[in-house]
Chain A
């Protein structure tokens, strides 16, 4: 179902010259010339001016010249220039009785639709006339126009009409075809407007039509309809089967026109097979038998020698074959067919055609997941591995990796993982990260022997350290800590690996962590005595980035506990100027605190504080979550694009520091927020005992420890002061926020903690684009007991309901202790609004019933799209909005320090564009943007004038709507 067909022509400069048509057909005469872009634009502007004057001229143009000019406009538009007139003339052409004039008119309308309601009414009128004209050519044009535009207005006007045309007995075949597809288009754009009725049963019978073109069109329509209303179209199954069997058994000449390179009606077959995939295998044994017969025939045909050497023949044949195989996979009930399909694909794996190899690998991936054919797929393992090594096309290799991943099980895991590791060394950069994830998952999932697992992962880091994401090495550490039997081995292996002269920073991280925890297990060996371990790690220290250094410092303090004999050495290191006076606050703080801790605290306290990490509770592996995210509906590359897009979105809206934090946790927001937090070394956290644990997790994720992405960026978290309180309490210092204050924080940012008390923490992530948005709400249970009857509801007041559309998915009513659940809210802004929706949460904790409400920070400014404009433009528009009702001004005292950079970040976070060098006074801030709602778009201009002496601001907002100015001003005033 493609959405568009386009021609990419290698056009150079094309000029429109004054047309002197010889035949009525040749309207535009064009020269391809090498002249400059400017010359082209000049030429076109001249031509546009000419046409404009012709249209405006007093004497009425005759149909022919009108057509000529409209056609020229169209051509100029296709060259990539904007056309903003001529619609009226085009509409006039519609009512002409001449085919060519009508055609150009329709073409213009289809290509350059305009939402002008008056125009739409005229167009609809013309279409209505043509539909009623009973002239098949005109009807066809009208239907094509509806199908190409497919707007809601058209759906409203014609959804009732078209089914009648479709099933009327006297309609021409070609009109029927168009009508069927036209209806399909309308159904796709506005399903609610297409009434189901008695025409549906008659549509199904079109499958029996004599004319195969009608059948082709009808099949598309029925397939789409059947996906939504399987019951109503059930009868189509048997008809489709019989049609299909008639096609596949026909001799290649029977269908005449519809035979394509000796393949009978390939497209229709594909469509029929696709229709059948909307339904389970037919229940009626006769139909079922017939279908199986068809599928067998198709498989048999694949074995026959080709009837033509042409690639078109084999392509068409294989198109049908692949569709048949997907039907077989979809039914997943005939072991026999599945195995045959698999063998057929196996043959394709070595085919000359790259396309075929690619498709074969792709289909096999789905086959591997069926229990019947899993074994059969496995027999091709050698070929697939070979493909990995020898294949030239990168996308094919990528599929091969996918297939290996899909066919992996306990019996062949070691082989496959080894092959993937091999391949990784030479793999394309674009797919390395995904392979790393896959290897990590397979190694973990099928590890019988955990020493193998540790080896594999270390290898992985060695080969492709740059592509090993945080999740992967967190996971290794989790597993090592949870399994006593590998700890000694792991310590020994990382120790050996660290001895390599150049090792990847990720290895240093894993090494530092593991030695810090289990270094004692190998300390008995003189070759890895405590001092040697320490020196080894410290030799890497200077080469590492700040996060790794922070981790290493934690390792050192753990060494103090594990090996009292090297305590003084470590203290010396900590005391050295490079640590104590380190420019990085995090490192400096750690050094100071650890040094104090090691001098003041008694051995007992040290032992408690620096005890081994407790086993991690088993959760879904965070890496798996990441891969799942990557796999998503599309492919890796495009997801990565999306990811990039998103993070750049956030760049625009959140303050830079927290962008890092959110970019890391973007994949699978919920699992990671906790999954990440679980792994890093919290700086000497005592065994998380009870209610604090969740908090500690989140805390260590965002503020400190291994991944100090943004120390202090999120002001909900304060760094703990180790030196002053001997027992570490990691309670965020300022948890008690006034709810409103928190709410205002979200005006300029999209992610963070919305609410927190002793029991519950609510986190938010949200993204907005134009008038749509999506918000993920995370509810974290901070206690160790279950919440029962957990029901969050989003409440909109009556006013709000009409202007804001919210859809929420229900969440699981029980939330386990320490667990987190996620809820998605889809948001659509219909028109501008004032209030914020309320999130009400009710649950039972222990015996008591809890009920709390917080405002959800969905505010009008979230639907901002920034607009860049020049100083001149700005002031021109500013003056246009000079009506006193459009302006709102507020003068207020600054609540926060008046820092220009922070203010800029806030204005950008607010959603508008920050316009530099617009205001003559450089101290002032100027912004512009458009608020998108479903019904309208509202342009907004803002100006913020700080007065440093008085610590005051003056904020002025001008928008085209009074209420909007008012609301935005309120929201923004709270920010400074």
Chain B
């Protein structure tokens, strides 16, 4: 849990760091778990997510981010709901 002007919460998954920058007053653990929740969704969505998935499909990653976090707030925390929405969007493609 290192700090800067805000604070940065990060979590490492193999070679990948997921960083979130939050206000100093925000709840550390909640956001730490939010990262994990996000990673689980990615994992589910890409079936065993790896770095290359994220690089190739960066626009999809953006969609996932938009589904889960918006305007700097947590939007949706239910994994099933997010995935349902994502699959629906994918079917449109």
Contacts and interface: CB of A to CB of B under 8 A. Distances in A.
B73 A181 contact: yes
B47 interface: no
A258 B78 contact: yes
Contacts of B80: 256-257
A8 B17 contact: yes
Interface in A309-354: 312, 315-316, 318-320, 322-323
Interface in B43-93: 51, 54-59, 61-63, 65-66, 69-81, 85, 88-89, 92-93
Contacts of A103: 59, 63, 89
A181 to B, nearest CB: 4
A781 interface: no
Nearest to A144: B66
B55 A30 contact: yes
Contacts of B71: 147-148, 150, 181-182, 184-185, 188
B51 A182 contact: no
A100 B78 contact: no
Interface stretch (A243-251, A260-268, A441-449): A260-268
A949 to B, nearest CB: 53
Q: Which of B16, B28, B78 gathers most chain A CB within 10 Å? A: B78
Contacts of A3: 6, 21, 72
B55 A638 contact: no
A14 B85 CA distance: 31
A815 interface: no
A947 B65 CA distance: 63
A260 B37 contact: yes
A543 interface: no
Contacts of B66: 144, 148
Interface in A7-58: 7-11, 14, 24-26, 28, 30
A1 B34 CA distance: 12
A323 B18 CA distance: 23
A601 B55 CA distance: 84
A4 B72 CA distance: 7
A638 B6 CA distance: 9
A682 interface: no
Given A9-B55, A257-B81, A265-B77, A2 B21 contact: yes
Interface in A164-196: 174, 177-178, 181-182, 184-185, 188
B55 A266 contact: no
A849 interface: no
A212 interface: yes
A74 B59 contact: yes
Given A185-B71, A216-B77, A322 B92 contact: no
A1 B26 contact: yes
A213 interface: yes
B37 to A, nearest CB: 7
Interface residues of B, number: 57
A177 B76 contact: yes
A74 B20 CA distance: 22
A617 interface: no
A24 B22 CA distance: 37
A257 B54 CA distance: 25
A110 B71 CA distance: 12
B82 to A, nearest CB: 9
Interface residues of A, number: 73
Given A2-B31, A10-B51, A147-B70, A177 B75 contact: yes
A84 B66 CA distance: 25
A358 B1 contact: yes
A266 B56 contact: no
Contacts of A8: 16-19
Contact of A634 (B3, B34, B55): B3
Contacts of A217: 70, 73, 75-76
Nearest to A263: B33
A100 B92 contact: yes
Contacts of B20: 2, 5
Contacts of B78: 212-213, 257-258
Q: Which of B4, B55, B56, B85 gathers most chain A CB within 10 Å? A: B55
Q: Which of B73, B75, B77 gathers most chain A CB within 10 Å? A: B73
Contact of A26 (B24, B56, B58, B89): B56
A220 interface: yes
Given A10-B16, A220-B74, A2 B22 contact: yes
A316 to B, nearest CB: 5
A841 to B, nearest CB: 36
A583 B88 CA distance: 82
B77 A181 contact: no
Contacts of A28: 56
Contact of B19 (A6, A174, A319): A6
A758 interface: no
A188 B73 CA distance: 12
A359 B24 CA distance: 12
Contact of A178 (B23, B33, B55, B75): B75
A882 to B, nearest CB: 44
Given A144-B70, A174-B85, A319-B30, A213 B16 contact: no
A334 B34 CA distance: 31
A30 B4 CA distance: 34
A71 interface: yes
Contacts of A144: 66, 70
Contacts of B16: 7-10
Given A7-B61, A9-B16, A107-B62, A355 B73 contact: no
Given A9-B16, A11-B55, A395 B2 contact: yes
A270 interface: yes
Nearest to A269: B30
Contact of A323 (B17, B21, B27): B27
Nearest to A224: B73
B29 to A, nearest CB: 4
A1 B92 contact: no
Nearest to B85: A174
A104 B59 contact: yes
Given A9-B16, A216-B75, A316 B69 contact: no
B14 to A, nearest CB: 10
A103 B51 CA distance: 22
Given A4-B21, A148-B66, A359 B75 contact: no
B21 A213 contact: no
Contacts of B34: 267
A11 to B, nearest CB: 7
A30 B56 CA distance: 8
B73 to A, nearest CB: 4
A323 B33 CA distance: 14
A634 B51 contact: no
Contacts of A184: 71, 73
Contact of B29 (A6, A258, A359): A359
A181 B75 contact: yes
B51 to A, nearest CB: 6
B33 A316 contact: yes
A216 B79 contact: no
Nearest to B73: A220
B55 A213 contact: no
8 contacts: A1-B22, A7-B19, A148-B71, A181-B70, A217-B73, A217-B75, A257-B81, A319-B32
Per CB-CB distance, the 8 closest pairs between chain A and chain B, nearest first, are: A185-B71, A319-B29, A257-B78, A99-B92, A319-B30, A220-B73, A181-B70, A181-B71
Given A213-B75, A217-B70, 19 more contacts: A2-B69, A6-B21, A30-B56, A100-B92, A100-B93, A137-B92, A148-B70, A178-B70, A181-B75, A182-B71, A217-B75, A257-B80, A258-B77, A260-B37, A267-B77, A316-B29, A320-B30, A322-B28, A355-B32
Interface of A: 1-11, 14, 24-26, 28, 30, 71, 74-75, 78, 99-100, 103-104, 107, 110, 137, 144, 147-148, 150, 174, 177-178, 181-182, 184-185, 188, 212-213, 216-217, 220, 256-258, 260, 265-268, 270-271, 274, 312, 315-316, 318-320, 322-323, 355, 358-359, 395, 633-635, 637-638
